[in-house]
């Protein structure tokens, strides 16, 4: 015991010294990754390292409990880094997977432009159908100055929110091309340890696409904010609540957008056919919605290519009719570009002007959809198309409607369709209806994207996700969400049936998600962009203040029916919170009750039963430790497989995990046990739909590479020991370390990365004293000792590979462990209700992780266990 304490103390001193020397060579904070070159473990008699995936911060307890510390069968050794599949040439990967939009031809660029129009801008493009009608229903026109003031409000709302905030700023805060509320949260979690999501071990931060630039020492403000967020559990919970609230508002937006867009377009019939009644509008709208959600499964690229040209015609027609009305009626509306008219509008009747803000906000609807749909297309394409096509046509459309209303104040209830020239009314009616259907699709695809991100980060029950494009992996379709949105939209249309009331509900959902995005972007500015504090606070004050004013206006009309959308958003928020809460409790319970290494040692290499030939893939949700369900298998089955692999399919908060870093392997027990852990990691943009044969092949190949790499690591360590013995006159051992010419530090115990192999000739070899005991002189010569050691290691490697091949030939069986939780009897009633009923219902009806693999039922074995929490 005393010897272990002394060794541990000296080890800490050495690593502190190594940290200081490395910091000088590498320039401070960025050198911290090189400290992982060494670790301290216990070694069994058969020279296999015992590693129970314990806490890396406790080096003396890694693999042993207190009662075994004096066991003579183990010795403390200093070895290289933990060997896993991440250690192979990860520095060669730059930025994860290749962007799908790189190196496109002119023909593909035109194709993408039409798809962008059809998918991204449908929602914001159809806002002229209903903005003025809702505004003037809330604040009736009392003179032409009211029209000029309302138009000025619309123009500057378009400039401030969609253009400046979203197109020029928020789109740049994407997470490797991924947009939306959860993408912002993932980006913040990659930079600061603020995530409350379960099952996120530190090894995930070594994925190449996970790393971001570490703040420099000079930017103390960024570091202080980072430390404050990481230290405060309350701030972490508040941040997660904001993200969940924002996502629930996006999903609610996916309900109200189809209802509002379709009803506003169909109501044009009342202008063209005066005999048309409101009931007819509702019936036609219901039919449109059913058709729209039925074709959703055909994919974004297919439908986007069809509806893209249609939306292009819509924008051109909108601009053309606007110019026609400006010329024919009253071009004096151009003075609305003077923002003083907003001041005059509020000065004449501040209450009426403030109330009209709820309708004015509708001109900016679809702004969040642009950001959420970012995963489908590039930032530059969206920026250029909005700035040079969408925004000019929208402004011309609003200017034309205002010019028409200057001479026809009584037509304020249907200004868009009333302002269309008689000769092209039906053509524009058809185009407007097509554009409205496109707008519905834009928000629906944004909802799919947000739900997929939520599922990937453990905040939404797992659902079936269909990838509709082989070229662009961000284009998805979620059947359950699709039909759920349809049912909610039909309910909204049939029970409210008023565009004014639906418009107010639309504003509630839109301003809610805008505010959440503003708060998250502020954190991105301070933590990651590290911009000037004045610029960051200016963004915060201007846009959050503006959105609070809009919120106050839409909340005033909550009695009109907007409460329905708030109830819907609260239900979605409740589902997400319960799922996250239950998943976190389940993970914490499994971590507390996982099997200890003492039990495994007592069972022996046969695990207290018969080891039958074959490979058993035990699926569980733990990223480290031996799951309790394994003990249930041992107690239930008459025999277990000769090779056991604990498989955890886990999503990490990055868009994509490079294929070379997909599998993370670790040896769980000594060699004779033949037990490994495999974490198959996927980003929330990754496609995970391999069949079981492909998955098995990739997994076995990766495991074989891991075993060979581990043997080579041991061989390098042995060679290092021999070299240090021959070159040292003292009784202590020594380890060799390479310091590259750029100051990077590498251990000979770690695999050399390919990009540094050619630089090793210029490296300087240094020695570092070890803390191990002096060894007795060996009777063999140094040459004989090295030869015998290598031959033993080669034989051990071949034996283990032979066991792997034999087990593979015998067959692979999937062992599924179903772990459920129930609240204890002495728990609060609310906890019992949440865990025993709501979370249990969600978990029972959600999609299991193994469902993505088409595994035959004859190769499945299932065991269940229940934990009390």
Alpha-carbon gap, residue 603 to 606, rounded angstroms: 7
Q: Is 729 exposed, middle or buried (0-12, 13-18, 19+ CB in 10 A)?
A: exposed
Per DSSP, the residues of 526-548 read: IIII---HHHHHHHIIIIIHHHH
User: Are the CB atoms for 653 and 457 separated by under 8 Å?
Assistant: yes
> Which position has the token pair 């695999």?
751
Q: Which helix (H) or strand (E) holds 436?
A: helix 425-456
Give the C-alpha separation, 650 to 624, whole Å.
12
Whether the CB-CB separation of 181 and 513 falls below 8 Å is answered with yes
Spatial contact of 681 and 664, defined as CB atoms under 8 Å apart: yes
> Using CA atoms, how far apart are residues 658 and 93, in angstroms rounded to an integer?
8
Q: Residue 808: which of 697, 707, 676, 711 has the closest Cα? A: 697
Strands 764-769 and 745-747: unpaired
H-helix segments, 66-212? 106-120, 122-125, 131-138, 144-158, 181-191
Tokens of 847: 């999609």
383 within 8 A of 184, measured Cβ to Cβ: no
In 355-433, where do the E strands start and end? Answer: none
Spatial CB neighbours of 668, under 8 Å, sequence gap ≥ 6? 51, 52, 53, 626, 646, 675, 676, 677
Q: Is the dihedral of CA 291, 295, 296, 297 positive or negative?
A: positive
Rounded to the nearest 5 degrees, what angle is found at the Cα of 527, between the Cα atoms of 522 and 533?
Answer: 60
Residue with tokens 């904001």: 242
CA distance 61 to 53: 11
Q: What is the DSSP letter of 175?
A: B
CA dist., res. 117 & res. 344, Å (int):
36
Burial of 857 (0-12, 13-18, 19+ CB in 10 A): exposed
- Residue 426: how many other CB atoms lie within 10 Å: 12
DSSP string for 88-102: SSGGG--SSSPPTTT
Handedness of CA 103, 108, 113, 115 (dihedral sign): negative
β-bridge partners, 145:
none
Q: How far is 620 from 814, CA to CA, in rounded Å?
A: 11
Residue 681 near residue 657 (C-beta atoms within 8 A): yes
Contact 222, 110 (CB under 8 A): no
The pLDDT assigned to 497 comes to 65
Nearest to 456 by CA among 651, 688, 292, 236: 651
Q: What's the rounded Cα separation, in Å, for the pair 268 and 369?
A: 25
Three-state DSSP class for 50? Answer: strand
List of the chain residues with pLDDT < 70: 1-115, 118-119, 197-219, 299-307, 375-376, 469-475, 497, 559-562, 653-655, 684-691, 717-790, 792-793, 848-854
Q: Is the dihedral of CA 23, 26, 28, 32 positive or negative?
A: negative
Q: Is the dihedral of CA 488, 489, 491, 492 positive or negative?
A: positive
Burial environment of residue 590 by CB neighbours within 10 A (0 to 12, 13 to 18, 19 or more): buried
| pLDDT for position 477 | 83
- The CA angle 611-615-616, to the nearest 5 degrees, is 85
Instruction: Give the whole-angstrom CA distance, residue 711 versus residue 798.
Output: 10
Helices 300-328 and 425-456 cross at an angle (nearest 10°) of: 140
DSSP state of 339: T
521 contacts: CB under 8 Å, gap ≥ 6: 169, 170, 173, 184, 539
pLDDT in tens, 210-233: 444 554 544 677 788 888 888 888
CA–CA separation, 546 and 533 (whole Å): 20
* CA–CA dist 427, 373 (Å, integer): 29
Give the Cα separation of 354 and 138 in Å (integer). Answer: 10
- What is the phi/psi pair of residue 821, to 5°? -125, 150
User: In angstroms, rounded to a whole number, what is the distance separating the alpha carbons of residues 94 and 224?
Assistant: 29
What is 3-47 written as a DSSP string?
A: HHHHHHHHHHHHHHHHHHHHHHHHTSGGGGGGGGG-EEEEE-TTS
Q: Are strands 764-769 and 49-50 parallel, antiparallel or unpaired?
A: unpaired
DSSP state of 340: H
Question: HEC states along 110-132?
Answer: HHHHHHHHHHHCHHHHCHHHCHH
760 CB neighbour count, 10 Å cutoff: 13
Q: Give dist(CA 835, CA 579) in Å, integer.
A: 9
- As given in the structure block, the two tokens for residue 64 are 């042993």
Q: 259-287 burial, b if ≥16 CB within 10 A, otherwise e?
A: bbbbbbbbbbbbbeeeebeeeebbebbbe
Question: Which residue, among 379, 458, 510, 467, has the nearest Cα to 649 in the 3D structure?
Answer: 458
d(CA 243, CA 513): 9
- Residue showing tokens 């949105």: 485
Classify the C-alpha dihedral 736-738-739-744 as positive or negative: negative
Q: Collapse the DSSP code of 687 into the 3-class scheme (helix H, G, I; strand E, B; otherwise coil) and give the result.
A: coil
CA distance 812 to 785: 40
Tokens of 59: 């080096």
């Amino acid at each position: 015991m005393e010897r272990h304490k002394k060794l541990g103390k000296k080890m800490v001193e050495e690593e502190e010294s190594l940290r200081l020397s490395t910091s000088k060579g590498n320039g401070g904070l960025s050198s911290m990754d090189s400290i992982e070159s060494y670790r301290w473990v216990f070694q069994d008699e058969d020279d296999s390292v015992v590693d129970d995936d314990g806490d890396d911060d406790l080096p003396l307890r890694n693999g042993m409990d207190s009662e075994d510390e004096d066991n003579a069968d183990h010795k403390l050794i200093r070895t290289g880094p933990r060997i896993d599949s991440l250690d192979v040439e990860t520095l060669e990967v730059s930025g994860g997977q290749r962007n799908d939009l790189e190196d496109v031809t002119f023909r593909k660029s035109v194709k993408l432009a039409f798809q962008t129009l059809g998918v991204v801008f449908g929602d914001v493009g159809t806002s002229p159908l209903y903005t003025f009608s809702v505004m003037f229903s809330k604040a009736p026109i009392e003179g032409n100055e009211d029209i000029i003031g309302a138009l000025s409000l619309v123009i500057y709302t378009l400039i401030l929110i969609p253009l400046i905030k979203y197109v020029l700023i928020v789109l740049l805060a994407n997470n490797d091309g991924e947009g939306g509320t959860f993408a912002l949260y993932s980006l913040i979690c990659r930079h600061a340890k603020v995530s409350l999501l379960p099952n996120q071990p530190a090894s995930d931060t070594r994925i190449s696409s996970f790393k971001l630039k570490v703040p420099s020492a000079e930017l103390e403000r960024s570091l202080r904010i980072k430390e404050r967020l990481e230290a405060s559990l309350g701030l972490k919970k508040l941040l997660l609540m904001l993200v969940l609230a924002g996502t629930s508002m996006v999903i609610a937006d996916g309900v109200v957008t189809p209802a509002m867009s379709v009803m506003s377009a169909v109501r044009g019939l009342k202008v063209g056919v005066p005999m048309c009644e409101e009931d007819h509008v509702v019936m036609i709208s219901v039919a449109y919605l059913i058709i729209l959600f039925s074709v959703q499964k055909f994919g974004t690229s297919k439908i986007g290519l069809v509806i893209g040209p249609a939306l292009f015609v819509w924008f051109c027609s909108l601009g053309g009719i606007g110019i026609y009305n400006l010329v024919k009626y009253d071009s004096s509306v151009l003075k609305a570009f003077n923002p003083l008219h907003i001041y005059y509008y509020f000065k004449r009747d501040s209450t009426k002007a403030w109330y009209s803000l709820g309708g004015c906000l509708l001109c900016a609807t679809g702004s969040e959809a642009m950001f959420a749909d970012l995963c489908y297309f590039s930032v530059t394409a969206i920026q250029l198309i909005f700035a040079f096509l969408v925004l000019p046509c929208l402004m011309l459309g609003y200017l034309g409607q205002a010019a028409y209303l200057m001479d026809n104040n009584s037509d304020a209830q249907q200004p868009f369709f009333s302002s269309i020239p008689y000769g092209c009314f039906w053509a524009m009616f058809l185009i407007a209806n097509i554009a409205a259907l496109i707008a519905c699709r834009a928000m629906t695809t944004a909802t799919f994207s947000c739900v997929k991100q939520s599922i990937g980060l453990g905040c939404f029950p797992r659902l079936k996700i269909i990838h509709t494009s082989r070229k662009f992996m961000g284009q998805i379709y979620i059947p359950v969400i699709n039909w759920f949105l349809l049912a909610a939209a039909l309910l909204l249309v049939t029970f409210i049936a008023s565009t004014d009331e639906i418009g107010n509900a639309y504003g509630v959902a839109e301003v809610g998600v805008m505010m959440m995005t503003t708060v998250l972007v502020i954190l991105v500015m301070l933590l990651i962009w590290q911009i000037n504090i004045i610029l960051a606070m200016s963004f915060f004050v201007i846009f959050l203040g503006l959105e609070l004013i809009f919120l106050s206006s839409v909340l005033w009309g909550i009695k009109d029916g907007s409460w329905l959308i708030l109830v819907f958003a609260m239900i979605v928020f409740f589902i997400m919170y319960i799922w996250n809460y239950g998943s976190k409790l389940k993970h914490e319970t499994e971590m507390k009750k996982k099997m200890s290494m003492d039990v495994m040692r007592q069972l022996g290499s046969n695990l207290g039963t018969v080891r039958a030939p074959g490979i058993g893939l035990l699926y569980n949700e733990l990223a480290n430790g031996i799951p309790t369900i394994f003990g249930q298998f041992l107690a239930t089955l008459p025999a277990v497989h000769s090779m056991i692999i604990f498989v955890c399919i886990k999503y990490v908060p990055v868009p994509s995990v490079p294929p070379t870093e997909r599998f993370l392997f670790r040896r769980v027990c000594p060699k004779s046990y033949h037990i490994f852990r495999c974490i198959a990691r996927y980003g929330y943009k990754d496609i995970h739909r391999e069949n079981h044969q492909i998955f098995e092949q990739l997994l076995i190949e990766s495991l074989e590479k891991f075993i060979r790499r581990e043997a080579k690591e041991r061989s390098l360590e042995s060679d290092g020991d021999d070299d240090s013995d021959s070159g040292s006159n003292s009784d202590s051992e020594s380890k060799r370390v390479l310091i590259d010419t750029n100051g990077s530090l590498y251990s000979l115990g770690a695999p050399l990365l390919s990009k540094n192999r050619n630089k090793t000739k210029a490296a300087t070899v240094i020695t570092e004293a070890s803390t191990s005991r002096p060894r007795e002189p060996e009777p063999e010569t140094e040459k004989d000792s090295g030869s015998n050691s290598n031959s033993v290691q080669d034989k051990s490697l071949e034996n283990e590979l032979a066991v792997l091949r034999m087990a593979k030939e015998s067959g692979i069986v999937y062992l599924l462990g179903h772990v459920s939780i129930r609240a204890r009897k002495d728990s609060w009633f609310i906890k019992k209700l949440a865990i025993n009923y709501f979370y249990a219902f969600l978990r029972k009806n959600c999609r299991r992780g193994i469902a993505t693999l088409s595994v035959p039922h004859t190769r499945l074995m299932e065991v269940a266990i229940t934990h009390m929490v």
